[in-house]
């Protein structure tokens, strides 16, 4: 699905570094390539989160769920990139612990939307979900 071989590696590296920052519970690393106007459709409610503060606050609950030893591993990452706009799809294999201590595994679907702003690829949208019905 690659449209520009020259842009796809940059977008791929950005997303792989974002996932690495999540595994390291490095909040600054998670946010470094994100727009202040990000629109987040997160796995838990509410329906949507708008803007950097809401996006930033969505991560500590996941860190708690990962319990320092969980998994957040991308697979089937696919990038569709033009010169100025790109989107990516992936699955995320997540392993953590519920509040009651039970081990849990999730298979999450991920879509990321990006724009090139000031010469830098910037994430303006994320959509994380499980099938719900």
Q: Are 12 and 87 in contact (CB under 8 A)?
A: no
- CB of 45: closest distance to a second copy in angstroms? 4
* Residues at the interface with a second copy (CB under 8 A): 1, 3-4, 37, 39, 41-48, 78, 80-87, 89, 91, 107, 109, 111, 113, 115, 124-125, 127, 129-133
> Taking CA 86 as the corner, what is the angle to CA 124 and CA 95, rounded to the nearest 5 degrees?
70
Residue linked to tokens 């010469």: 119
- CB of 70: closest distance to a second copy in angstroms? 15
- CB of 61: closest distance to a second copy in angstroms? 10
Choose between 17 and 124: whose C-beta lies nearer to a second copy: 124
Choose between 26 and 33: whose C-beta lies nearer to a second copy: 33
Q: Are 132 and 45 in contact (CB under 8 A)?
A: no
Q: Quote the DSSP letter at residue 36.
A: E
Residue linked to tokens 């392993």: 95
């Amino acid at each position: 699905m690659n449209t520009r071989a020259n842009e796809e590696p940059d977008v791929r590296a950005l997303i792989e570094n974002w996932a690495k920052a999540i595994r390291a519970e490095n909040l600054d690393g998670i946010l470094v390539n994100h727009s202040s106007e990000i629109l987040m459709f997160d796995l838990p409610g509410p329906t949507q989160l708008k803007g950097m503060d809401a996006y930033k606050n969505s991560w500590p609950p996941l860190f708690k769920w990962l319990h320092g030893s969980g998994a957040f591993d991308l697979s089937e990452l696919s990038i569709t990139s033009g010169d100025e706009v790109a989107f990516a799809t992936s699955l995320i294999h997540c392993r953590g612990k519920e509040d009651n201590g039970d081990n849990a595994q999730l298979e999450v679907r991920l879509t990321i939307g990006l724009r090139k702003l000031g010469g830098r690829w910037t994430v303006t949208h994320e959509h994380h979900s499980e099938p719900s019905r």
